[in-house]
């Protein structure tokens, strides 16, 4: 009996995530999975994201039932075991016998037929365990208990407790294990009605008047999405773009995939924008996005270059340095990050981010502003980068973003009732779980 398309796709994606350091969300939405029916794609997404979110707990249970150490198991076998156990413990609508049988078949499909009896025996033991979602996770009151209950690396949990408090760390971990809401930005006034006619149920955004949250329906199948009149973009990301304000010459240093670039273009309809992207394939995707909007394409120049060495000579009154980062503020969307990231990575990222910020600061015109931003919760990538860069020159100062948030609130664009809660010191700081969005940091730097 062949393996179901959803489980086969989930298995193949998880294998690539582990072997190639690919991102699950990109693979799930790649053309290779266009053949999946809507229900099969939904199940494949549930399986992939569920296994990645709960990996450490799944592995701990598998270790109790396996006579072999997990480090000795072939990756194909371990993934098949994780897939079945996730279904046992978290998907009450999937019969255990079906999950068990298909994982055994997945091992055979992966040319590991000799391991099929082993997988069958381990899964029969695991089928007797209590459901994973039934734990009293709210009682996690120490770093170790929190990391174990919510399947996070202990070192990350300990950092978040030190930086944000135990309560906030609990909320971060809880949020990361949930399916995140899809937020969109409406670029045309008629888009909302069009989406409604196409069966999409929306509710107002939590932070911004221009944002909506998708309650039901697949936004990617709509004409409004294909036309670019509705753009998928987390509300915290939209807020970072809003902090740019208004300018006539604008530089976006790390532009792809282009959500912030388009947002900046929309709020600056007459500005000339230079969008820099390091990777040629991502620059091509950005170009394709802009081609759907000839007016933007005509005034946005795309440059393929390293933002650490910007190949531009002019000065800009507005600069966005939304730098590559660890992404620890987006773990609900990208759970594989938490199993890959190391302390050494943070140190390397700090140096790269610092180099980009130095390069970007040099392009700010006198009196102009730069927004430095990340989707990271880690201080090394945020305050530490800004402080180090500004310590090297007296030509720049941090502008208190609370003033900018107040202006957005006055303009009825910022609808969050407590703008001060979105800040830490003079910078923007959103925390997943504490706020209804991804974790973003942003500092506004002025050239004096």
pLDDT of the residue at 318:
98
Q: What is the pLDDT of residues 48-60, one digit of tens each?
A: 999 999 999 999 9
CA distances (Å), origin 343, targets 155, 157, 377: 9, 13, 13
Catalytic residue among 173, 253, 254, 375: 375
pLDDT of the residue at 154:
98
**Assigned CATH topology for domain 182-231:** Alpha-Beta Plaits (3.30.70)
pLDDT band at 188 (very low <50, low <70, confident <90, very high): confident
Q: What is the 3-state secondary structure (H, E, C) of the chain?
A: CCCCHHHHHHHHHHHHHHHHCCCHHHHHCCHHHCCCCHHHHHHHHHHHHHHHHCHHHHHHHHHHHCCCCHHHCCHHHHHHHHHHHHHHHHCCCCCHHHHHHHHHHHHHHCCCHHHHHHHHHHHHHHCCCCCHHHCCHHHCCCHHHHHHHCCCCHHHHHHHHHHHCHHHHHHHHHHHCCCCCEEEEECCCCHHHHHHHCCCEEEECCCECCEEEEEECCHHHCHHHHHCCEEECCHHHHHHHHCCCCCCEEEECCCCCCHHHHHHHHHCCCCEEEEEECCHHHHHHHHHHHHCCHHHHHHEEEEECCHHHCCCCCCEEEEEEECCCCCHHHCCCCCCHHHHCCHHHHHHHHHHHHHHHHHHHCCEEEEEEEEEEECCCCHHHCHHHHHHHHCCCCCEEEECHHHHHHHHHHCCCECCCCHHHHEECCEEECCECCECCCCCEEEEEEEC
pLDDT of the residue at 133:
58
Judge whether residue 135 has pLDDT over 90: no
Judge whether residue 301 has pLDDT over 80: yes
Burial class (CB in 10 A: 0-12, 13-18, 19+), 243: buried
For the chain, domain boundaries? 5-131, 144-176, 182-231, 235-447
**Is residue 437 flagged as an active site residue?**
no
pLDDT of the residue at 330:
98
pLDDT of the residue at 296:
66
Average pLDDT, the chain: 93
| 325: Cβ contacts below 8 Å, ≥ 6 apart | 349, 353, 374, 375, 376, 381
Supply angle C-alpha 269, 292, 25, rounded to 5.
Answer: 105
Express as a percent the part of the chain with pLDDT over 90. 83
Judge whether residue 337 has pLDDT over 80: yes
CA distance 100 to 84: 6
CA distance 251 to 261: 9
How much is the average pLDDT of 102-108?
95
pLDDT of the residue at 297:
63
Nearest to 276 by CA among 256, 291, 248, 292: 256
pLDDT of the residue at 220:
87
pLDDT band at 227 (very low <50, low <70, confident <90, very high): confident
- Picking from 149-163, 166-180, 258-272, which range would have the lowest pLDDT averaged per residue? 258-272
133: left (phi over 0), alpha (psi -120 to 50) or beta: alpha
CATH 1.10.10.10 corresponds to the domain 5-131: no
pLDDT of the residue at 282:
86
pLDDT of the residue at 138:
55
Contact 323, 351 (CB under 8 A): no
How much is the average pLDDT of 333-340?
98
How much is the average pLDDT of 359-372?
97
How much is the average pLDDT of 308-329?
96
Beta bridge partners of 275: 252, 302
CATH 3.40.50.150 corresponds to the domain 235-447: yes
pTM: 0.94
Q: How many CB atoms lie within 10 A of CB 362?
A: 14
CA distance 405 to 420: 8
How much is the average pLDDT of 237-245?
96
CA distance 217 to 213: 11
pLDDT band at 357 (very low <50, low <70, confident <90, very high): very high
Q: 């939904």: which residue's tokens?
A: 42
Express as a percent the part of the chain with pLDDT over 70. 96
How much is the average pLDDT of 347-359?
98
pLDDT of the residue at 407:
95
pLDDT of the residue at 429:
98
Judge whether residue 298 has pLDDT over 80: no
Q: What is the pLDDT of residues 6-31, one digit of tens each?
A: 999 999 999 999 999 999 999 998 88
């Amino acid at each position: 009996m062949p393996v179901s398309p959803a489980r086969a796709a989930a298995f193949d994606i998880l294998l690539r995530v582990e072997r190639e350091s690919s991102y699950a969300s990109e693979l799930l939405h790649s053309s290779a999975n266009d053949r999946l029916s809507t229900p099969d794609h939904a199940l494949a997404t549930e399986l992939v994201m569920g296994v990645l979110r709960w990996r450490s707990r799944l592995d701990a249970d598998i270790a109790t039932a396996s006579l072999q150490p997990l480090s000795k198991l072939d990756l194909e076998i371990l993934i098949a075991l994780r897939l079945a156990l996730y279904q046992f413990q978290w998907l009450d609508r999937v019969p255990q016998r079906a999950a068990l049988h298909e994982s055994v078949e997945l091992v055979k499909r992966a040319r590991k037929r000799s391991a099929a009896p082993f997988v069958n025996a381990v899964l029969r033991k695991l089928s007797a365990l209590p459901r994973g979602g039934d734990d009293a996770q709210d009682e996690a009151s120490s770093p170790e208990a929190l990391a174990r209950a919510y399947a996070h690396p202990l070192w990350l949990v300990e950092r978040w407790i030190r930086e944000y408090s135990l309560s906030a760390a609990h909320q971060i971990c809880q949020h990361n294990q949930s399916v995140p809401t899809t937020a969109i930005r409406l670029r045309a006034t008629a888009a909302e009605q069009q989406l409604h006619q196409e069966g999409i149920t929306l509710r107002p955004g939590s932070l911004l008047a221009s944002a909506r949250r998708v309650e039901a329906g697949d936004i990617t199948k709509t004409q409004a999405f294909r036309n670019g009149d509705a753009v998928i973009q987390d509300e915290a990301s939209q807020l970072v773009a809003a902090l740019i304000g208004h300018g006539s010459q604008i530089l976006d240093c790390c532009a792809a995939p282009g959500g912030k670039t388009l947002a900046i273009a929309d709020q600056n309809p007459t500005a000339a924008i230079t969008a820099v992207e390091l990777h040629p394939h991502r620059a091509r995707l950005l170009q394709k996005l802009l081609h759907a909007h000839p007016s933007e394409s005509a005034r946005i120049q795309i440059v393929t270059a390293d933002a650490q060495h910007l190949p531009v000579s002019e000065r800009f009154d507005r600069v966005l340095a939304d730098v590559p980062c660890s992404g620890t503020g987006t773990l609900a969307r990208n759970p594989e990050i938490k199993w890959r990231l190391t302390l050494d990575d943070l140190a390397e990222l700090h140096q790269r981010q610092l180099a980009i910020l130095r390069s970007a600061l040099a392009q700010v015109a006198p009196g102009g502003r730069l927004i430095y931003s990340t989707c990271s919760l880690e201080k090394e990538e945020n305050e530490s980068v800004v402080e180090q860069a500004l310590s090297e020159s007296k030509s720049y100062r941090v502008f208190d973003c609370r003033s900018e948030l107040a202006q957005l609130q006055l303009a009825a664009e910022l609808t969050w009732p407590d703008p001060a809660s979105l800040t830490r010191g003079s910078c923007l700081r959103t925390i997943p779980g504490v706020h209804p969005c991804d974790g973003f940091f942003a500092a506004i730097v002025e050239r004096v």
